[in-house]
């Protein structure tokens, strides 16, 4: 029996206290209540130590330190990472790109190659074995913003060994279930929407791992191991090619927004008021529109601008629903 007051009473009390009508049950009950109180006190003290805390306490510690438990991470390994928040690196290097890369890599199992790059071309890479390198002057032109806007950060993950492309959209029952179901992820096979919410959460909040003073842009997942090569048009999902709207970004990559504003769409000035031919032959004349339109849910829209939001939120590749 573990050391407890219950196991010691027979050595501490005279026989007549233990040999009552209930065969010592009264003393045992009193000792048990004291043991329970002591164990509660002990558990409360140990809960602050990751190596001694249970899974529920570890979750609270991880939430406080913004260290997400990996999707397949053991309790012992997670405890070691929580303890390492104090030394040798952890919180001491929070705010460096390398610290963020380490957290992302550990979430997906550690053996993951990824890098962070800013608008000025400063590239910091972390390999699957934990080695790290830093280079400057890497070509990176996501949009037409000035290179002096250096405080914008992208994260690129080599997901060739971990993720895959979703099959073409078709019958939902054939390729992953109905949209909107729990854990569903639109564009990155081998991951869930919860995975990407956990990763994006690392870049937000008061104690985020993203460098202070920087603005998170996109997490880019390479499905074939190739590095992205933006050409100043990637700020938009698509660009106008004659009368057609075509994708502007590489189809071999997947994109998860680190901030919600990147997913908000309020119209594209390059596309507005242009003719769409030959399917619609719309030339911008309001007489081409019907007076009312019945939506799929049965609601009738009569052209009142108040019926439409100023912006809509579009999904990224880590979204749970379309």
Q: Percent of the chain, pLDDT > 70?
A: 77
Q: What is the pLDDT of residue 99?
A: 92
- pTM score: 0.74
Helix%, strand%, coil% for the chain, nearest 5: 30, 20, 55
Q: Does any domain span residue 124?
A: yes
Residue 263 pLDDT > 80, yes or no? yes
Residue 78, classified by CB atoms within 10 Å of its CB into exposed (0-12), middle (13-18) or buried (19+), is: buried
Average pLDDT over residues 178-188: 64
What residue numbers bound the domain in which 29 lies?
5-46
User: Cα dist. 260→83, 101, 223, 265 in Å?
Assistant: 32, 21, 23, 11
- 281 CB neighbour count, 10 Å cutoff: 9
Task: Tell whether 176 and 35 lie within a shared domain.
Answer: no
Residue 322's Cβ-side half-sphere holds a number of Cα atoms within 13 Å equal to 6
Cα 264 to chain centroid, rounded: 18
Q: Where are the alpha helices (DSSP H) in the chain?
A: 5-12, 15-18, 25-46, 55-65, 75-83, 97-107, 172-175, 193-201
Residue 279 pLDDT > 90, yes or no? no
Question: Looking at 247, 265, 283, which one is the last position of a domain?
Answer: 265
Q: What is the pLDDT of residue 3?
A: 74
Digit-coded pLDDT (tens) for 66-80: 899 998 899 999 999
Task: Tell whether 102 and 10 lie within a shared domain.
Answer: no
Digit-coded pLDDT (tens) for 241-262: 877 778 899 988 999 999 988 9
Task: Tell whether 20 and 111 lie within a shared domain.
Answer: no
Task: Tell whether 129 and 249 lie within a shared domain.
Answer: yes
What is the distance between the alpha carbons of residues 215 and 105, in angstroms, rounded to a whole number? Answer: 20
Q: What is the pLDDT of residue 9?
A: 78
Digit-coded pLDDT (tens) for 162-180: 998 876 655 555 555 555 5
Task: Tell whether 24 and 160 lie within a shared domain.
Answer: no
Average pLDDT over residues 208-214: 88
Q: Which of 92-96, 115-119, 145-149, 304-308 is the most confident on average? A: 115-119
- Are the C-beta atoms of 151 and 286 separated by less than 8 Å? no
Q: Does any domain span residue 319?
A: no
Q: Does any domain span residue 280?
A: no
Q: What is the pLDDT of residue 172?
A: 54
Q: How far apart are the first and last CA of the chain?
A: 58
Q: Does any domain span residue 232?
A: yes
Q: What is the pLDDT of residue 281?
A: 46
Residue 113 vs residue 320, higher pLDDT:
113
Across the chain, what does the average pLDDT equal?
Answer: 81
Q: Does any domain span residue 309?
A: no
Residue 153's Cβ-side half-sphere holds a number of Cα atoms within 13 Å equal to 24
Number of structural domains the chain divides into:
2
**Residue 123, token pair as written in the block:** 């590239």
Task: Tell whether 98 and 187 lie within a shared domain.
Answer: yes
Q: What is the pLDDT of residue 277?
A: 45
Q: Which of 17-21, 135-139, 236-240 is the most confident on average? A: 135-139
Q: What is the pLDDT of residue 90?
A: 81
Task: Tell whether 99 and 38 lie within a shared domain.
Answer: no
Q: Does any domain span residue 303?
A: no
Q: Does any domain span residue 315?
A: no
Question: Looking at 265, 285, 307, which one is the last position of a domain?
Answer: 265
Band (138; pLDDT cuts 50, 70, 90)? very high
Task: Tell whether 114 and 176 lie within a shared domain.
Answer: yes
Average pLDDT over residues 52-58: 85
Task: Tell whether 132 and 259 lie within a shared domain.
Answer: yes
Task: Tell whether 233 and 131 lie within a shared domain.
Answer: yes
Digit-coded pLDDT (tens) for 10-49: 777 776 676 666 567 778 888 889 888 888 888 888 878 8
Question: Looking at 244, 265, 286, which one is the last position of a domain?
Answer: 265
Task: Tell whether 237 and 131 lie within a shared domain.
Answer: yes
Q: Does any domain span residue 150?
A: yes
Q: What is the pLDDT of residue 276?
A: 45
């Amino acid at each position: 029996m573990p050391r407890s007051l219950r196991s010691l009473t027979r050595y501490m009390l005279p026989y007549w206290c233990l040999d009552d009508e209930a065969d010592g049950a009264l003393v045992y009950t009193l000792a048990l209540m004291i043991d329970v109180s002591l164990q509660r006190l002990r558990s409360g003290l140990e809960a602050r130590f990751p190596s001694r805390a249970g899974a529920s306490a570890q979750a609270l510690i991880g939430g406080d330190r913004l260290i997400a438990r990996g999707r397949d991470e053991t309790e012992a390994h997670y405890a070691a990472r929580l303890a390492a928040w104090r030394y040798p690196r952890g919180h001491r290097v929070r705010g460096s790109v390398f610290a963020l890369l380490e957290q992302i890599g550990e979430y997906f199992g550690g053996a993951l190659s990824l890098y962070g790059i800013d608008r000025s071309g400063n590239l910091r890479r972390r390999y699957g074995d934990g080695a790290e390198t830093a280079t400057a002057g890497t070509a990176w032109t996501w949009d037409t913003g000035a290179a002096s806007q250096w405080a914008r950060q992208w994260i690129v993950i080599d997901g060739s060994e971990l993720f895959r492309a979703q099959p073409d959209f078709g019958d939902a029952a054939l390729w992953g279930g109905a949209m909107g179901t729990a854990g569903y992820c639109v564009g990155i096979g081998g991951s869930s929407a919860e995975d990407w919410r956990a990763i994006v959460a690392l870049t937000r909040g008061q104690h985020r791992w993203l460098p202070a003073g920087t603005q998170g842009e996109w997490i880019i997942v390479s499905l074939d191991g190739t590095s992205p090569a933006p050409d100043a048009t990637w700020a938009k999902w698509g660009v106008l090619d004659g009368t057609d709207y075509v994708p502007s970004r590489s189809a071999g990559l997947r994109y998860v927004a680190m901030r919600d504003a990147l997913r908000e769409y309020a119209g594209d000035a390059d596309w507005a008021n242009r003719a769409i031919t030959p399917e619609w032959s719309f030339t911008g004349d309001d007489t081409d529109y019907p007076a009312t339109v019945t939506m799929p849910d049965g609601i009738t829209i009569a052209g009142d601008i108040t019926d439409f939001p100023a912006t809509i939120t579009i999904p990224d590749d880590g979204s749970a629903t379309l």
